[in-house]
Structure 1
Amino acid sequence: MKLEGRVAFVTGAASGIGQATALLLREEGMLVAAADLDKSRLKEALGGVEGVTVFPLDVSDSAAVNEAFAQVDRFHGRLDALVNAAGINAPTPEANQALVDANVRGLEAMKRGETPRFDFLEDTSDEDFRRTLEVNLFSQFYTLRAAAPIMKRTGGGSVVNVSSVAALIGAAMPLYYPASKAGVLGLTRAAAVELAPYGIRVNAIAPGAVDTPLMHQQPDEVVQFLLGLQKIPRLAAPEEIARTIVFLCADDTGGYYTGQTISPSGGTYM
């Protein structure tokens, strides 16, 4: 892959898929602007890596996103890749605990031979739904809008949006999550059509169960149940997903892909 000297912007870079992607892009020769809301974790993860600039950033704040990309433009004068890896499973600790409790109750019902029943629809507040879309979907619109003019001037580039296999299958969960991740796929396809004449490719990945801090917010028995739904019954390492992202970022491997959704999901989606 020929990425030496090019510039990438990676969100959600303090952990998981985002961190693994930032490190792998740097190994391939790219200069990386790494952004995350968690300032201390971001600096701990990537602050000492040569060629990586860290940006504490709330990706749901459009003005802050615009300023971050303006800084990258002023410093580097170009942008060749954007990876939107920032995302949340639940909007608050309380919402996450409610999800954990519901999943545990569902598993207990199944052990008794009963059909699990959930009330996610009725129990989701306007604010929880809105906040999840702000982080998981609106943010990708904000970064795309900020990145496009720089990439056009650069002469092209690659955008990879991180969605989820939850956008491709039906599963009992709070509706804000699959709704936000499915929105990413529509955003990806529309942007791919618009930006193709400028040499900008836009693709999405829809991972299954990945060994990240977000996954381990769930009890181990819930994780094991989810793995049992996959044909390949294990967690993916973040680095495995990162390699797919880097494949899409490079012209010599991903140059003929745009508007696509690739699902490294252990066979959950085929």
Structure 2
Amino acid sequence: MEKQERRLQLLENFIYLIIWVVVLVMPLWDIDKLENSSEIDWESVFHAWKMICPLLILFLVNNYILLPFLLIRKKSWLYLLFTICAITLTIFVSVQIMPGQEMPGNRPPWTNRNGEQVQRQRPPMIPEGMRHSDRQMPNRRFKPDNQPNPGVFRFPPFIAPHFLIVLLIIGVNMAIKFLFKSIRDDHRMKSLEKQTSETELAYLKHQINPHFFMNTLNNIHALIDIDKKKAQKTVLELSKIMRYVLYDASQPSVPLEKEIHFLSNYIELMKIRYTEQV
């Protein structure tokens, strides 16, 4: 039983190891960069590993601390609370590790997305003598396209992918963990059922009805004065039954011949108590 559970635990950890080895090796196989040059961009690889590191730590905490000590022990609310805290911390650390993400408004007012300066577009000059109605100016204020809309809060666009990746890691981890837990529970139930059956069978095999034993001894005591030879034969039959119960019944299998002899000895002892008509 313990060996089987140890094998299942090793298999579970081996699956986790394979998954994370594949994840860590993926940055080395960047097809676009390998087509342009045969060398690996180790700077990009190390940066990718740095971004994977918080996710790996989240997996280790969830798999070896939160799941076995909280969720499996039916502490669901504590697990949910600590998981939310761990997810929030992981996303925060991952965002800090990422390359600088420019939010609208972080750039200088007259630069494009690449950081290059652009010339400010001024509204056309209007002659002084032209009336206000003849100016044909659009009824809106000029505002650069890169200025944020004040008063509107928006999540950074790179938060959503991190959140989905974190949920995927926790979901896959829980699925694998509970799959192996169900397999272990099934093996434990079968082992308990087997042990119960063996215990009941051993009890039945070793059981000697005290009334049967007492009545047989009383019959032998009465036969000593009536028929000594029959009393001796009865003692011999009882000894054979005792030998079978003590030695043969404990074996995993018994020859059919011994079973038949045991039944015959039992019938011979019972004949002493009853007449031939029974």
Taking structure 1 as the reference length, what is the TM-score of the superposition?
A: 0.24
Higher RCO structure, 1 or 2 (CA under 8 Å, sep 6+): 1
Q: Which has the higher helix share?
A: 2
Q: Which has the higher strand share?
A: 1
Q: Which protein has the larger Cα radius of gyration, Structure 1 or Structure 2?
A: 2
Taking structure 2 as the reference length, what is the TM-score of the superposition?
A: 0.24
